[in-house]
Structure 1
Amino acid sequence: MTASPSTSAVAVAPATESVPARAFLPALEGMRGLAALGVLLTHVAFQTGAAGTPVLGRVWGRFDMAVAVFFALSGFLLWRPHAAAARGLGSAPTLGYYLRHRAARILPAYWVVVCAVLVLLPSAAGTAGLRVWVSNLALLQVFVPLTLTDGLTQMWSLSVEVAFYLVLPLLAFAVVWLRGSTARWRVPVLLGLAAVSLSWNFIPVPTPDAIHSDNWLPGYLPWFAMGMVLAELSFGSERLSKWRRPAGNQPLMWVIALIAFLISATDIGGPAGLTHAQPWQYAAKMALGAIIGFALLAPLVLGDPTSGHRWLKSRVAATIGRWSYGIFLWHLAVLWVVFPVFGILPFSGDFGYVLVLTIALTLPVAAASYALIEEPVRQWARRRDRAKPAKEVEEEDRLAAP
């Protein structure tokens, strides 16, 4: 899974204001950080055998639903400019700008991790042939058999997210005609896309051995779509206000998210462990994940940004949120090192001990990734855009106009 390396957390002003305003929303950053730790937790639970314990094991294992939060975050943040442009409140980024900044955000830090793991991690380096190198560097692991290797198996979700990045401009173009007074139909269209995507696992897609099409983008579109719906609602007309009010109610939404999470931890959300789910279980998991992602993020996006969410806005939560991409990238490699260094056998217990060790060692590595790779590259990309000639900027703005 991925820590949703999207653009800075932004949100509109409260729904009661007539003109939405862009503003940094610390609660989104905090939620991203907690979701990253949730991903780490579920992998530690699996590697220590805790995911196989009765009752609680199913709960620990289902923290993989944090992926739904990350995908919804990406859907919201990256679709928001298009939702605004459809209502004449701004312009969407040009394709070149969008792709350039997506690449700058995810690729440099990712490539460093891939090279470090395939060179330094013994269990990965021993199987790192040319096919493994090329597939991982190109984020094609979900399409090429037997290329998800130790320390990098979580990257399947980053491959899915990058596929979404590439498809998003096509989705935006497909609904570009829904603007102005017809923009209200964008939410039903997105919900329809999510509903249709729930049937993906029922389609007999031919795949090579060891490759499952349920790890491809179409199956996860419902999770991205929920964030896109939130973006539309945040700019919606007064006709949508009746939906914004309950969606912005944090206690209500988070109770709904908790119920959906607990249901997903049963056989409805699929069997425990790595057993392949039945198509109906896969569809149920996608639907429950869509509910979880929407319900956790909606109060942060549609509620009053000046109140509540104190712990998500804290300095600690914000810091972990900034490091969340690095946490996602490095935590499995760190976990593989923890076992031999501390003399712990995999799948033999010590869940709490291994969890604390993995968090304690992952955080400084993630902090270094952010400070030395992620942020410098992002600043370079921003300086490059500011240094563009005025004529080039005007041309980009013209091409981006709705």
Structure 2
Amino acid sequence: MSVTETVPQDQDQDLPSFPFPDTFSPLPSGTLAEIARRAPAIRVRFGPGQIPIWLIVRHAPARAMLSDPRFSRTKTLEFRPPLTGAQIPDPNSLLWLDPPDHTRIRRLVSTGFAHRRIEQLRPWVAETARRHVTAMTAKDAPADLRAALAAALPVDVICQILGVPEIDRENVRTWSETLFRFATNREAAAAGQKALYGYMDSLVRERQAQLAAGEPVTKLFDVLITTQDTDDGRLNEVELRSLALTLLIGGFETTAGVITNAVTTLLTDRSQWESLVGNPALLPNAVEELLRYHPLSMTFPRVATEDVDLGEFTVRAGEVAIAPFAATNRDPDLYDDPDRLDLTREPVANLAFGHGAHHCIGAHLARVELTEVLSALIDIVPTLRLAVPVSELRYELAAPIGRPEKLPVAW
């Protein structure tokens, strides 16, 4: 029996409200797991207007939805959806564009994020990670690993990519953090966004002028400014500003959350941490497993532009669909014992960074950052441990990826 038959749409008034209380928790969501055991998708109410939508909880239909061009991101702006980061939508952002605009910008941007370019950045990322770990351990324990490392490194990396001077980085970090508090302080989030828009406008114009005057291309963002396609031309100033903000927001809070959760999980189960310390060769598999275990909470919503059959259910034209990766990455049809962290698990394609046209352009960069953070910790401070009982950790659940507010550690 299809989900459409199981939950007739004339019963939409009785649907549960989504997100659920545990949706953004980095711990396994009992609610999502229970739904996934019963069906590949259900109907829920979502957003400020509590409109009925499809919540897709299994890997196969979620992957199909994410790669199907009949699902639009741009159309979701019409109903003001709540976002995973609760930030204010920018209609010029790559995040919200559909083809052909998305295709044109993505083609130009992909040049700057080519695998080889990110690998060229890896030694600098590794050195920066080691510097933060060394600075943290040079002080008396306990330390807040989230502030000292998990949040500090992504800010350094994304500011390095964008060419943000060190003197401005603390301001950029503060403004960025306010965007992820939109649900609790809308005015501060709007002010932070306005400040970032103004700063990025000036940064883009200044760098364009410097490159036009003959300065060499030295930053990854320089590549994005100067890349020109025979058919597509170059990115304009509005597109560059929106892209810079997208990279900043996506490369800061989300990566910081992934790093925080990965270290928390490893230290919660000391046998996992000790296995990595004893055998660093496990690191590549461990990174993929940790990304499966701690993905972003969900993808952005999409609107079907025509009826789409996703196998066991049909999303009708005009209906909205969303896929929480915390569910799809623990699909029992794809993973044995999916709620168990297994650092030796052979990687299976998961949706940690989405799929299809909107697959996260910074996916490889995030992998590099997580790898180099864990490598630095294993090498410099193998005795790392939680400084408080797990029960005392307090979680931030309004961010795009739920994570501890602080991560007190000792060594």
Shorter-chain TM-score range: under 0.3
Structure whose residues are more often helix by fraction: 1
What TM-score do you get using the length of structure 1 for normalisation? 0.25
Structure whose residues are more often strand by fraction: 2
What TM-score do you get using the length of structure 2 for normalisation? 0.24
